[in-house]
Homo-oligomer: A and B are copies of this chain.
Amino acid sequence: MTEEIELSMDCKAEAVLEILAGKWKRVILEQLFSNGTMRFSELRRAIPDITKKMLTSQLRELEYHDIVSRQVHLDVPPKVEYSVTEYAHRLIPLLEGLNRWGTEHIEHLKEIYGEEYAAKSPARPRRPDRAATGE
């Protein structure tokens, strides 16, 4: 029977998911949180597989959400520095919770499927139907 949990999530969670969802957002935040202010080129070096286009767009989205701030220095050569905002620090507990849960969840999946579980949920999971002749 139900446990009447009443989570009442009006799906405000979407707003946060949007911040964290991009493929590179979390790595970028990791860099900025642990290294402080970084230049565009430093970020590129720290995250070798990211393209300039991706780095730019993800940074712009984070900037829009007031998570990172962008300082443009008008000199030659051009120099743009990024850092996390004060506001971004409120994200930390959530990020930690997410990472803790993620780590445990991977273990949980291993217990269920063995070491060779697929990270991405398969289209047709191989779990057998549990049948019951209820009604």
Contacts and interface: CB of A to CB of B under 8 A. Distances in A.
Given A61-B121, A75-B133, A132-B73, A97 B97 contact: yes
A64 B98 contact: no
A130 B66 contact: no
A45 B35 CA distance: 50
A62 B29 CA distance: 28
Interface in A1-41: 1-21, 26-27, 29-30, 33-37
A103 B14 CA distance: 9
10 tightest CB-CB pairs across the interface, nearest first? A2-B36, A12-B102, A13-B98, A15-B102, A64-B121, A64-B125, A61-B121, A12-B103, A72-B129, A73-B134
